[in-house]
Each structure stands twice: as structure tokens, then as C-alpha cells.
Structure 1
Amino acid sequence: MKRRELLAALAAGAMTQVSTSQAQESPAKYTNEIALPKPKVSGTVSLEDAIQRRRSVRRFRSDALPVETIGQLLWAGQGVTSPDGKRAAPSAGALFALELYMVTAAEVMHYVPQGHRAQTRATPDMRPKLQALALNQASVGAAPALIVVAADPGRLKQRYGARAGVYSDLEAGHAAQNMLLQAVALGLVAVPVGAVDGPQAAHALGLPAGQSVVYVIPVGFAA
């Protein structure tokens, strides 16, 4: 490679690194905040029945999910369930490494467990981009809603050191199973997708530095 071409390539690489760094340091801004409907703490489907019926389903109707349904799913994953701030899913040291997002055709929602709220921002449809980052799995593009489970292992490192990543992955599994069972209880179907480029998905969604996508969970009404 000629010297001029080499310098140009190095400059382009440096610009890419700066651009990525700036994107990480400046996460996407949410323009609205809504109070989600109060979650229900009892229902007509028993836990045992939900466990028996839970299956990974990859075909969905296009019907949008009602906001109360979205709120119930997010509460099942990370909702505050005690006066001292404990949540629906176990967390190592109660340090809460997870953040939940809901992606629809028109917006991205960030769940705020305290007060059962959601920050929202209108976006172009992000589902095709997330599908491409998930080995092009059709379910990711077909579902009317995607629950995105992101983890920030850095929140655990001071206490747990090298095991922080393991514990944040375990936490993601706990929360995902809660939401999958909640989907069954709500008459929905879902599938957990772990084959996703976590850092690139976080970048595409404009998530804060330190967060990486662990799971994408397509959810909706069965086709």
C-alpha cells in the first residue's frame, strides 16, 4: 500500500473510532416520559400453567401491543416489588445490572422501574436493523414489539471483579424467563433471541456507554 493510501486509511480508522466514542458518550435522548398503567399482581393463569404452556414461537400477528401490556411485561422483568426497592428478578448484590427497552415500529421505550415509568422517543423502525444484527432471524423483524435486555457489567465490577459479566448474564436470564412466563399469562407468544451482536445493537439504539444488548425478545399475538 502506498504511503498516501496508508495515511488515508489510518485517518479513516481514527475518525471511525472518534465517531463511535462520541456516540457512546452521547446516548440517544428521550423526549417524553409516561406513567405506565399500574401492574396487576394477580391473574387467571397459574404459574404452573404458564410454565407448562411456555414455548418459543416465531410467528406473530402485526397487532400493536397495548401500553398496559407493555408495562406488565417490563414490570415482570424489572419491576419494583418491595418497599425497599427490590425487583421482580434476582440481581447479584441488588446492584441491578440490567436496563430494559421496548422497541416498536414507531418508538423506543426505556423502562424506569422506580415509579413504573417509561422514557420514550420516536424513531424510524429499528426492527430491520436489529434483525440484521441478530443473524437476520425473521422473528426479530416480524414481531410488533421487541423487548431488548441490555446489561452493564460495570455496575458489578467493584464488588464481584472478574465475575461481573457472569452475574449480569445470569440476571438477564432471570428477567427474560419472568417476561416469557408473563407473556404466556397475557395470551402472547415470544421467543428469546441470544444470537445478537450486543455492542452493535447497543450502538444502533443509542444506549449509554457500558451497556451491551444481551437478549432480544420478539413478542406479540400468535399468527
Structure 2
Amino acid sequence: MKRRELLVALAAGALAEGSTSLAQAAQAKFTDQIELPKPNLTGTVSLEEAIAKRRSVRRFAAKPLPVEAIGQLMWAGQGITNSDGKRAAPAAGALYALELYVVTATEVMHYLPEGHRAEKRASHDLRPELRALAVNQASVEAAPALLVVAADPSRLTARYGGRANLYADLEVGHATQNMLLQVVALGLVAVPVGAVDGAPAARKLGLPRGQTVLYLIPVGYPA
């Protein structure tokens, strides 16, 4: 194939892939909204014990997480903990660049901190496809629930300019550690997965423009 023909073919393929991604994004509408169970503020595991017991675990029992556990984990990451709207994890300028999602075998949930709610949509099992975008780490597909931490640094740009991406990354770390400690307190296990191709993962999930996936957290009951 001549060089010009090869370039045309590659361009056509890229356009087709882009069209597919846009189509996926257009179809990724949340069709239902639920109130999550009220978060528990008086756990039985101390902070010190949770810190001491936190370990990365990559094997899970084949048991789905109840909505109570999912809601508690989302609250630990981004729940509103103050009457002025401040959240559980620090955020630059209280501008909140993060969005939290949960992927299971049958649906995708999006956490709505206001009112401790979630919107959800039915979906085919996206975990195998997200595994492929996370250097094929088996835990991404094996876990009954996959927490997805996405960020939109543009929310910080007006105030922080070129430091927006840095501050978004820091925010991801704060929220993720909260959720990992909450995992321990709930008697669950998890592993943070940072090796994820963020932009394709966001397109696969049909996330809004500007959001990219920065962390995956496979979570479940211990095997």
C-alpha cells in the first residue's frame, strides 16, 4: 500500500473509532435515580486499626456488594459532611474536580453527593473492557464492584491555571485513601489500580467531555 493510501486508511479508522466513542457517550444516559441508605457515622473499627489492616488484595469472593456498602464507600470518598457542603476529602478551593462511579456486572452508578443519591443505568458488563485498558489486571474484572475515580481538571483552571491537573491528582489521592480505609472498616478488600488508560476508559464508560479516569478500585468480599 502506498504511503498516501496508508495514511488515508489510518485516518478513516481513527474517525470511525471516534464516531463509535461519541456514539457510546451519547447513549450513556442515566435512566434512574435512587436515594442511598444513610451513611453510618459510628463504625466499630478505629482509624488506627483501619490504617494498620489496609492491604492491597486482588482476589474476591463471588458475592455482590449490597447498596449499603456501595453508598458508604461513595460517602467516604465524596460525601457531604458539613452543612456548608464541604465533603469528606480535601479539594482545592472546594471546587470538587472529582466524580465517582461504580461498575458492576449489570449497571453503572454515578454518585451524587447532594442528598447522598446515585443515578444509574443498566449496562452490559464493562469490567472485561476496563481490564483491557488497565494492562490486563485480572482484579479489575474479578471484583464484584469496580469503583471508578474520574476527574475534570477544567473545574480548577479558572482559579489555579497550570496547577489544575496537579491539584486534581492530589484530590484523587485524598478521596481514594478515604475509600480504602472505609473498605477495611466494612470488612471488605480492595486494590487501587493506577495503571489505567484514562481517556479511553472514560469513553468506554460514556463519561461527559472533560472527565478522565484516574483510578480504578476493585472491591469486594475477601475470597
Do the aligned partners of residues 153 and 81 (structure 1) sit closer, same or farther apart at CA in structure 2, a change above 3 Å counting? Answer: same
The yes-or-no answer on 1:124 pairing with 2:124 is yes
Kept after mapping to 1: 8 A contact 2:25/2:207: no
- Over the matched positions of the two proteins, sequence identity in percent amounts to 71
Partner residue in 2 for 1:98: 98
Distance 2:126 2:25 in 1: 21
Kept after mapping to 2: 8 A contact 1:26/1:208: no
- Post-superposition, which runs of at least 4 consecutive aligned residues in structure 1 deviate over 3 A? 1-4, 20-27
Do the aligned partners of residues 136 and 6 (structure 1) sit closer, same or farther apart at CA in structure 2, a change above 3 Å counting? Answer: closer
Q: Please give the residue correspondences for 1:13-162 in structure 2 after superposition, counting only pairs within 5 Å.
A: 13=13, 15-16=15-16, 19=19, 22-23=22-23, 26=26, 28-162=28-162
How far does residue 59 in structure 1 lie from its aligned partner after superposition? 0.6
Partner residue in 1 for 2:178: 178
Distance 2:11 2:199 in 1: 23
> What's the secondary structure of 2:89's corresponding residue?
coil
How far does residue 19 in structure 1 lie from its aligned partner after superposition? 1.3
Q: TM-score, normalised by structure 1?
A: 0.94
How far does residue 26 in structure 1 lie from its aligned partner after superposition? 3.3
How far does residue 5 in structure 1 lie from its aligned partner after superposition? 2.7
Kept after mapping to 1: 8 A contact 2:25/2:203: no
Kept after mapping to 1: 8 A contact 2:21/2:204: no
**Structure 1: any 5+ residue segments left out of the alignment?**
none
How far does residue 24 in structure 1 lie from its aligned partner after superposition? 8.2
Distance 1:160 1:193 in 2: 27
Q: TM-score, normalised by structure 2?
A: 0.94
**Structure 2: any 5+ residue segments left out of the alignment?**
none
Can you list the C-alpha shifts for 1:46-81, whole angstroms capped at 9, x where unaligned? 111100110001110010000011000000000001
Kept after mapping to 2: 8 A contact 1:98/1:152: yes
Distance 1:160 1:20 in 2: 34
